[in-house]
Structure 1
Amino acid sequence: MEDTMTNRRQFLQAAASLALVPMLPRGILGATSLRTRPSWPQFRDSPLYTAFLDAVAKMRASQDSTKPGSWAYWTNVHANFCPHKKPYFLAWHRGFLARFEAQLRKASGNSALVLPYWNYYEHPLLPAEFRDSSSPLYLRNRTGTDVSGACTLGAFDPGLTNFQRGKTDAFEPAVESAPHNGVHNLIGGTMDNIAVSPRDPIFWLHHANIDRLWDAWVQADDGRHMPARTASYWSGSFSYGPAVSTMKRVSTYTPSVLGYRYDDTALPTSQPSGYAGTLPSIQEAFASPLPVQGASLGGLGGLALGAQSTRVRIPLTVEGRNRVRSLATAQGQGATPAGDALRIVLDGVSLTGAASQGGYFYKILLNLPSTGLTQPEQTYLVGTLGPFEVSVARHARMMAGAGMAAMQAPVRIVLPAQDVLGRIWPEPLDALTLSFVRVATDGAPQGDAVVIDRLWMETD
């Protein structure tokens, strides 16, 4: 990993002498026509397919990671600048794709070339062309090929009308968790590590689909809204490395500003035929209770997650139960508790052996009824946990100054649970349970995969 994970200072210094290269697609200003990004099956049968293969092969063969004509340049940009579990996850990646797409055109010599997208809601199997070892689209270390299990519909629930992270009922964090993280986890290999995931050519088609789903969410309307173009939210710029010009945040407001559109902007309404519509059996796990102290409402010490879905019960004191009911009531009645919210904290999270290669993840559901789903899954879903989420947390620590050692160390993962409280209210809340529901593809590890040293519930 070290050959591509140059630290931020080295990466910036290596290309500091390069002039900024404006790489905006044709048609940004005064455009009368837009390039159309198609789905993979249509793209594969089009005249642009050969140009795409040639461009990918040329960029992957380039050895100079300081120049945008090399594949490694874009991997390093993602490692050094991408925001995951932060504001602008969607907007930054939209600009990232646009800059990369422009470089593909340059490498191919074809000004009409566009990035296709992988619509896994309709075609959940990794396209055959990416599994052909003679193709420049091939990468040998993938673990899984079927991402049906990542294709939930929660992010497209009509109740998610806000856009940005930090708001209640927000689309951006929901779609990042599912399907985005799940697809990274199930493909596995390079894809389940944020620091190197763009090495895999399927990364680009996956993110083009996430970008398309964002556009579809906006166009679906029905009360869904983003901050106005004039809002301070869009002030500032995004960086895509020293060899490429920055991009104003507001330029990512819609695809048309960047000169493209999608051939299909309908929100998914169904899951793939291979998607498991019912939850598997869930075993009860027992761990040592943690003392209630500080912001903690109660928790457990020592939990290993393996091939079996697992449920744990969080013991609450009388004061803790009252606090949870108060938060749930306020949220359920449409109020946002000022300066106070419920969070799930997973501490000392690590991966075991081959589990770091992915092919699996866990949906984390709060107070899922023991009899199974009585409401849509999104009602109970607080997030996902797998190798990709662990890599995101490790990467954040490394970028904060902890160094390369952070990429192997146990991490803390915090999951906001306040929205879920509002959705399950007024169901009884005398106890809190967490269900870790395993989702896996062929090739996933069968033994213990994720170890959590401690977990607890807390409020401000």
Structure 2
Amino acid sequence: MITRRQFLQASASLALVPMLPGQILGTTSLRTRPSWPQFRDGPLYTSFLDAVAKMRADNDSTQPGSWAYWTNVHASFCPHRKPYFLAWHRGFLARFEAQLRKASGNSALVLPYWNYYDQPVIPAEFRDPGSPLYRSNRSGTNVSGALSLAAFDASLTNFQRGKTDAFEPAVETAPHNGVHNLIGGAMGNITISPRDPVFWVHHANIDRLWDAWVQAGDGRHMPARTAAYCSGSFSYGAAVSSMQRVKTYSPGSLGYRYDDTAMPTSGTSALQIAPLPAIQDALAAPLPAQGASLGGMGGLALGSGSLRVRIPLTADGRNRVRSLVTSGTGQGGEVRLVLDGVDLTDAGARGGYFYKVLLNLPTGSVAQPERTYLAGTLGSFEVSVARHAQMMASCGAMAMHGPVRIVLPLRDVLRRIWPESLDALTVSFVRVEADSAPQADAMVIDRVSVEAD
């Protein structure tokens, strides 16, 4: 894959190509993006296949008519675990959808979505070796394990990352990351995930779920269009025009809508397993409290089972955690779970699995919503996101391999489980896997620790 710097240099001299759906339509009417089954049986399906085949066959990665162009744009500009994750991808899909229309010659073509909450198995057309929608290196086809309802909890009324009870980071964690992880292959790596055609129908569904969350109301709200949050613009490479952030505020601003904007009602909203799956206590070396660290464990390997580590807290550590957790909203510092030296094995790099990272999960039956204990998820995709951030920070000087540091905020989780005994914090890595997941060790972690400001 070319580096970000090479990609930008190669495309810098190309003319900007505006691709606004409204301009192509020449009207104020909105196109409707349908679910995959309706799209497959409709009149646009053949045009879609033709466009995908043409773009995948085009080898000029500096031109938006090639599939590789969009993969490189995603690798160069996409924000993950950052503000604008949803908005940037909405513009990305709109620009790509316009290119599909251009490649097909069909001005009515739209990008369908895969509603995995209704049909969790990758549609058959994407698994047909004779189809341009096929990729051979997927590790899983059933994403049921990723389908949490946590992001649609009535308490999540804020949108922006960094606020309490925020929708954007919740939906990125689940179902977004989990779907990437369980499919694996290219989908399990942020820098190449758009190579898989299923990426596009997956992200169309994430975009639809965002729209569904907004339309559900009941206190859920976006920042105002005039807010500073909506100022500025997004880049999609030098060969395609940039997009004002405010244009991504709603699907209608970009000339389309969805045929279904209901929030999902089926999925995993709670750890509905009684008793819980066996979680083995990890035999790892304890690490002392020092500086920001309240203590931890060293040397951990995650494989086909679930593991739990117990991090004892000193009296000082308990006081620091209590002070941070009981401070007012938006005040004070953060309590963090820090995973240092996280690296994938060869088997783990193929994906097809992930781990739910849960804090102070009770033993026995659990009736509380999963979100109560969920700090985040950990799989090949999250590792690739951390590597990608490391590479971007170094302007491409660092490679997309090797160990990384992953940090998960804990303060909101601690508030949800409060009051709990603070003698120790228990971190459980609960394995979720697809049909063809690797059964060997998937990743290693040099150090698991808890830090507090």
- Fold shared per TM-score above 0.5: yes
Offset, 1:200: 0.2
2:40 equivalent to 1:47: no
2:254 equivalent to 1:258: yes
2:426 equivalent to 1:429: no
Could you list the per-position Cα deviations for residues 219-268 of structure 1 after superposition, in whole angstroms to 9, with x for gaps in the alignment?
Answer: 01111111100000011000000000000000000000000000000111
Partner Cα separation in structure 2 for residue 402 and residue 306 of structure 1: 33
Please give the secondary structure, in 1, of the residue aligned with 2:106. Answer: coil
Decide whether the 8 Å contact of 1:34 with 1:260 is kept in 2. yes
Partner Cα separation in structure 2 for residue 414 and residue 276 of structure 1: 23
Decide whether the 8 Å contact of 1:124 with 1:272 is kept in 2. no
Decide whether the 8 Å contact of 1:290 with 1:299 is kept in 2. yes
Greater mean deviation of Cα atoms: 42-51 or 26-35: 26-35
Partner Cα separation in structure 2 for residue 209 and residue 414 of structure 1: 27
Partner Cα separation in structure 1 for residue 396 and residue 259 of structure 2: 43
Please give the secondary structure, in 2, of the residue aligned with 1:382. Answer: strand
AA matched with 2:110: V
Match of 2:280 in 1: 283
Partner Cα separation in structure 2 for residue 16 and residue 49 of structure 1: 34
Partner Cα separation in structure 1 for residue 234 and residue 253 of structure 2: 15
Offset, 1:372: 3.8
Please give the secondary structure, in 1, of the residue aligned with 2:21. Answer: coil
Q: Percent identity, aligned pairs only? A: 76
Please, which of 14, 17, 22 is the counterpart of residue 18 of structure 1? 14
AA matched with 1:355: G
Partner Cα separation in structure 1 for residue 52 and residue 76 of structure 2: 22
Partner Cα separation in structure 2 for residue 130 and residue 276 of structure 1: 31
Partner Cα separation in structure 2 for residue 430 and residue 402 of structure 1: 43
Distance 1:328 1:272, change over 3 A: closer
Partner Cα separation in structure 2 for residue 418 and residue 377 of structure 1: 16
Match of 1:245 in 2: 241
Greater mean deviation of Cα atoms: 283-292 or 192-201: 283-292
Please give the secondary structure, in 2, of the residue aligned with 1:60. Answer: helix
What pairs up with 1:330-349 in 2 under 5 angstroms?
Answer: 330=327, 335-336=328-329, 338-349=331-342
Partner Cα separation in structure 2 for residue 292 and residue 28 of structure 1: 61
Decide whether the 8 Å contact of 1:151 with 1:272 is kept in 2. yes
Match of 1:81 in 2: 77
Please give the secondary structure, in 2, of the residue aligned with 1:185. Answer: helix
Partner Cα separation in structure 2 for residue 388 and residue 205 of structure 1: 18
AA matched with 1:91: A
Match of 1:393 in 2: 386
Partner Cα separation in structure 2 for residue 282 and residue 372 of structure 1: 13
Match of 1:450 in 2: 443
Partner Cα separation in structure 2 for residue 292 and residue 428 of structure 1: 18
Decide whether the 8 Å contact of 2:4 with 2:395 is kept in 1. no
Partner Cα separation in structure 2 for residue 396 and residue 329 of structure 1: 32
Partner Cα separation in structure 2 for residue 23 and residue 422 of structure 1: 46
Partner Cα separation in structure 2 for residue 16 and residue 297 of structure 1: 48
Could you list the per-position Cα deviations for residues 49-87 of structure 1 after superposition, in whole angstroms to 9, with x for gaps in the alignment?
Answer: 000000000000001000000000000000000000111
2:168 equivalent to 1:172: yes
Partner Cα separation in structure 1 for residue 281 and residue 366 of structure 2: 17
2:200 equivalent to 1:207: no
Partner Cα separation in structure 1 for residue 332 and residue 318 of structure 2: 19
Distance 1:28 1:238, change over 3 A: farther
Please give the secondary structure, in 1, of the residue aligned with 2:423. Answer: coil
Considering only aligned residues, what root-mean-square deviation do their CA atoms show, in Å?
1.7
2:354 equivalent to 1:354: no
Please give the secondary structure, in 2, of the residue aligned with 1:406. Answer: coil
Offset, 1:380: 0.3
Match of 2:144 in 1: 148
Match of 1:438 in 2: 431
Partner Cα separation in structure 1 for residue 419 and residue 324 of structure 2: 11
Could you list the per-position Cα deviations for residues 382-408 of structure 1 after superposition, in whole angstroms to 9, with x for gaps in the alignment?
Answer: 100000000000011111117465311
Please give the secondary structure, in 2, of the residue aligned with 1:57. Answer: helix
Match of 1:293 in 2: 290
Offset, 1:329: 3.1
Offset, 1:13: 1.5
Decide whether the 8 Å contact of 2:149 with 2:268 is kept in 1. no
Decide whether the 8 Å contact of 1:364 with 1:384 is kept in 2. yes
Partner Cα separation in structure 1 for residue 310 and residue 31 of structure 2: 52
Please, which of 255, 260, 263 is the counterpart of residue 267 of structure 1? 263
Please, which of 384, 394, 403 is the counterpart of residue 410 of structure 1? 403
AA matched with 2:244: K
Partner Cα separation in structure 2 for residue 276 and residue 51 of structure 1: 43
Distance 1:272 1:171, change over 3 A: closer
Partner Cα separation in structure 2 for residue 189 and residue 242 of structure 1: 28
Match of 1:310 in 2: 307
Please give the secondary structure, in 1, of the residue aligned with 2:91. Answer: helix
Offset, 1:447: 1.7
Could you list the per-position Cα deviations for residues 99-130 of structure 1 after superposition, in whole angstroms to 9, with x for gaps in the alignment?
Answer: 00000000000011000000000000010000
Decide whether the 8 Å contact of 1:328 with 1:426 is kept in 2. no
Match of 2:121 in 1: 125
Please, which of 226, 230, 233 is the counterpart of residue 226 of structure 2? 230
Decide whether the 8 Å contact of 2:148 with 2:268 is kept in 1. no
Distance 1:29 1:101, change over 3 A: closer
Q: Paired residues, what number?
A: 451
Greater mean deviation of Cα atoms: 201-210 or 403-412: 403-412
Distance 1:339 1:322, change over 3 A: closer
Offset, 1:27: 5.9
